[in-house]
Amino acid sequence: MLNFLRLIYQLGILFGVFYIGNWIQDFLGLFIPGSVIGLIIMFTLLSTGIFNPKYIQTGASFMIKHLVLFFIPATVGILNFYHLFAGKGALLFVITIISSLFVMTAAGYTSQLLAREKEVHHE
């Protein structure tokens, strides 16, 4: 029972930061999604040490374990616009491959750059 209450508490913290991000986005009329603003807030709280990761570890692990379920609404939403995608399977496949290659290349270069900077600062 204590683990369940801890999970609910930690999920409440995560959703609270998410809703704060949404509120900031609505209040300021920003073009950045509220979920991204909430993610930035959580990152800032964790990286500055204001917030201890153990306060959300169980809730975050639970969310990650069930992450695939969060993609179901997006997939169902795409089915509402099936007429836009009909007959364009090959094009969508090519776009997916090319965009994935761009993301992997950018991530690789970024990680190499960060690793080089870390080596320079440690020498």
Q: In the chain, where are the structural domains located? A: 1-75, 87-123
**Per-residue pLDDT tens over the stretch 22-36:** 999 999 999 999 999
Q: What is the DSSP letter of 87?
A: T
pLDDT digit string, tens, across residues 85-108: 777 878 888 888 999 999 999 999
Q: What is the pTM of this model?
A: 0.61
Instruction: Label residue 69 by pLDDT band (50, 70, 90).
Output: confident
Of 34, 7, 8, 32, residue with least CA distance to 19: 34
Residues 6+ apart with CB under 8 A from 41: 17, 20, 21
Contact (CB, 8 A) for 70 and 24:
no
Nearest-angstrom CA–CA distance, 93 and 95: 5
pLDDT band of 123, cuts 50, 70, 90: low
